[in-house]
Structure 1
Amino acid sequence: MVNPCKLIEENIEYSIGSFNGKEVIYDFEKILIYLDVKGKLLFGHRFKIYKEDHDIILKLCHYLIKDEDNCKKNNIDINKGILLSGPVGCGKTSLMLLLKHIVPLQKPYILIPGRNIVFGFNHIGYKIIEDYGCRQFFCFDDLGVEPMGRYYGKDCNVMGEILISRHEIFIDHKIKTHATTNLNAEELEDLYGHRVRSRMRELFNLIHFDENTNDKRK
């Protein structure tokens, strides 16, 4: 039987909790140790887990391990996706790339920048929107800073259209979508319109960094 609490990195085993064959009891302090190790492997030796980010990380961990009681306390619906917002350089992308590794038995989401999707649209057109309306789990990175799409002289708000498609597949098949963004709710509505913003409320739980969080790239 596979133990979901035992994770191996470079032939070293890390425990992030205990498993009795039926129930998993996670240990947040042990998860932090593992995330620090995995983060350095993924992003280099300068990576570190910042104490001021522990609350955000804890909420995301509760969501990923499907801890319903703690999610309810934080008004997080485990059936929706995550919209992780915060200022530039606060670590949104790194966390979304990193945290999925604590639940290796769950189907992973694919992280892709919104701007890359728009570039694909400019090259091959509306098939891109169809491609992202599938049953794969995605995390759209840097939502809202992508350019307007343009194909054969016609403009298209590509990510807005994709979000509408993702909402449909969420309603019909319970397929989650995640995203990161530097923008607030009002800025997203200005960009995508009220219709998309209304669907985003159904698609996402909003988890946000403090607006004064330091840029960790400096």
Structure 2
Amino acid sequence: MVNPSKITEGGIEYSIGRFNGFEMFYDFAKILIYLDAKGKLLFGKDFKIYEDDRDIIYKLSNYFIKDFEKCEKAEIDPEKGLLISGPVGCGKTSLMKLLQFIVPLQRPYSVIPCRNIVFGFNHIGFKVIEDYGNGSFFCFDDLGVEPIGRHYGQDCNVMGEILLSRYELFLKSKLKTHATTNLNAEELEERYGNRVRSRMREMFNLIAFDKNAKDKRK
């Protein structure tokens, strides 16, 4: 039987809680130790978990491990996706790449920069919207700062169209979509319009870093 409380990275076994054969009991302090180690493997030896980010990591961890009671207290719906907002360099993308590793038995998602999706549209057209509006799991990175798409002279708000397709999938099959953004709600509405913004409210839990969160890339 697979033991979800033990994860091996680089030949070292990490415990993130206790498994009694039926139920998993997670330990947040152990999760932080694991995330720090996995982060160093993924992003380099300078990666670290910042004290300022512990509250956000705690919320996100509860979401990923599906601790329904703690999610309810934090007003997070585990059936919706995540929209992580915050200033440039605060660590949104790193956390979304990292946190899915604490639940290795859950289906993983791909983190895709929105600007790459638009470049794909410019090259091959509307098939790109179909490709990302399908049943795969995605986290759209840097939502809202991508350029407008243009294919054979036809302009398209590519990510807006993809979000509408993903919304239909969410309604039909509860398929989750995740995203990161530097923009606030008003800026997102300006970028995508009221229709997309209202659907985003239904699709996403908003998890916001403090607007003064420091740039960890410096």
Q: TM-score, normalised by structure 1?
A: 0.99
| 1:200 aligned residue | 200
Partners of 2:185 and 2:129 in 1: CA distance? 23
Aligned CA-pair RMSD:
0.4
| 1:83 aligned residue | 83
Partners of 1:201 and 1:109 in 2: CA distance? 21
Partners of 1:14 and 1:85 in 2: CA distance? 30
| 1:112 aligned residue | 112
**Identity of counterpart residues, as a percentage?**
72
- Paired letter, 1:121: F
| 1:172 aligned residue | 172
Q: What's the CA shift string for 1:135-188, capped at 9, x where partnerless? A: 111000000010000001010000000000000001011110000000000000
- Paired letter, 1:100: Q
| 1:70 aligned residue | 70
Partners of 2:32 and 2:195 in 1: CA distance? 39
Moved over 4 A (4+): none
Partners of 1:50 and 1:100 in 2: CA distance? 18
List gaps (5 residues or longer) in structure 1: none
Alignment size in residue pairs? 218
Q: What's the CA shift string for 1:25-83, capped at 9, x where partnerless? A: 00000000000000000000000000110000000000000000000001100000000
| 2:156 aligned residue | 156
Once the two structures are superposed, the pairs formed by residues 172-191 of structure 1 within 5 Å of their partners are 172-191=172-191
Once the two structures are superposed, the pairs formed by residues 22-33 of structure 1 within 5 Å of their partners are 22-33=22-33
Partners of 1:164 and 1:35 in 2: CA distance? 33
Partners of 1:11 and 1:114 in 2: CA distance? 35
Partners of 2:125 and 2:25 in 1: CA distance? 47
Partners of 1:211 and 1:22 in 2: CA distance? 41
List gaps (5 residues or longer) in structure 2: none
- Paired letter, 1:168: E
- Paired letter, 1:41: L
| 1:19 aligned residue | 19
Partners of 1:11 and 1:216 in 2: CA distance? 28
Partners of 1:30 and 1:209 in 2: CA distance? 23
Partners of 1:117 and 1:129 in 2: CA distance? 9
